[in-house]
Amino acid sequence: MTSFKKSDLKYENQYVWKRDSGDGPYIGKIDRDRLDRNEGYEVLYFANSNLSSTSTVRDLHKFEDLIRELPSREVMKENIIKYIRDNW
């Protein structure tokens, strides 16, 4: 697991940094399986969990760019990771 910080994100100022109004409280499996790409803390945790310990800030930015390329309807983390791996 990497340890990137909020300030390392390419789109830091474009994320919401608290749970947004459409996102209820954590409810277990659904929240573990889905990514809200508008919430910076979710994107940061997702990136830190999936990038290797040797990843650079440039890799983090590429990770963010690939997430943004996906259609907004794609929210399942498993599918997002597959897309990132296929397009890295």
Q: For residue 18, what pLDDT is reported?
A: 86
From CA 22, how far away is CA 62, in angstroms rounded? 27
Cα–Cα dist 73/76, whole Å:
9
Whether residue 77 lies inside any domain: the answer is yes
Which alpha helices (DSSP H) does 1-88 contain, by range?
Answer: 29-33, 40-50, 57-69, 77-87
1 located within any domain: no
- Residue 36 inside a domain? The answer is yes
8 A C-beta contact, residue 75 and residue 40: no
Chain segment 16-36, per-residue pLDDT in tens: 998 756 555 555 555 689 999
Q: Which domain holds residue 25?
A: 6-87
Where the chain has pLDDT below 50, the residues are none
| Nearest partner of 84 among 75, 57, 70, 72, judged by Cα | 70
User: According to the model, what pLDDT value does residue 1 have?
Assistant: 80
- The answer to whether residue 48 is domain-embedded is yes
Q: Which two tokens stand for residue 66?
A: 């690939």
Considering its fold, how many domains does the chain have in total?
1
